[in-house]
Amino acid sequence: MEGHDHLFETASFTAETSSRLQDAFARHERRNAVTAKLTGALDAMCTEAHSRKFSPEGVVIAMRRTWLAIPQPAGVTSEQWSRAYYSALGMCMSTYFGQKS
């Protein structure tokens, strides 16, 4: 179990994937809509997660780390920002489990 905990502590995406996600997440909140950019970023993230053998929990942790690196946009309430995250997380999990391992 100790090794399993270590995986959670170190789960993170490459700089390129994190950058794509940050940009897509920020745009997702501003438009409050699913965009091709967000879908593409989630697809890339899930492809990377599968290739690096991230568990679903590892994906959630890495995604949360990426999200926390994005400053909350001006004029967006904490509730709106949280809803945007959970919306993106739901799409992420659908994509993760829909892809071939």
Domain that holds residue 82: 14-98
In a domain, 31, yes or no: yes
Q: What is the pLDDT of residues 65-97, one digit of tens each?
A: 888 888 887 888 889 888 888 888 998 899 899
Residue identified by tokens 């945007």 is 84
Q: How far apart are CA 41 and CA 92, in angstroms?
A: 10
In a domain, 18, yes or no: yes
Q: What is the pLDDT of residues 33-69, one digit of tens each?
A: 667 888 888 888 889 888 988 888 888 888 888 888 8
Q: How far apart are CA 75 and CA 69, in angstroms?
A: 18
In a domain, 4, yes or no: no
In a domain, 2, yes or no: no
Residue identified by tokens 């290739």 is 51
Crossing angle for the helix pair 56-68 and 36-51, to the nearest 10 degrees: 130
In a domain, 79, yes or no: yes
In a domain, 6, yes or no: no
- Determine the 3-state secondary structure of 71 from DSSP: coil
> Looking at this protein, which amino acid is placed at residue 54?
F
In a domain, 66, yes or no: yes
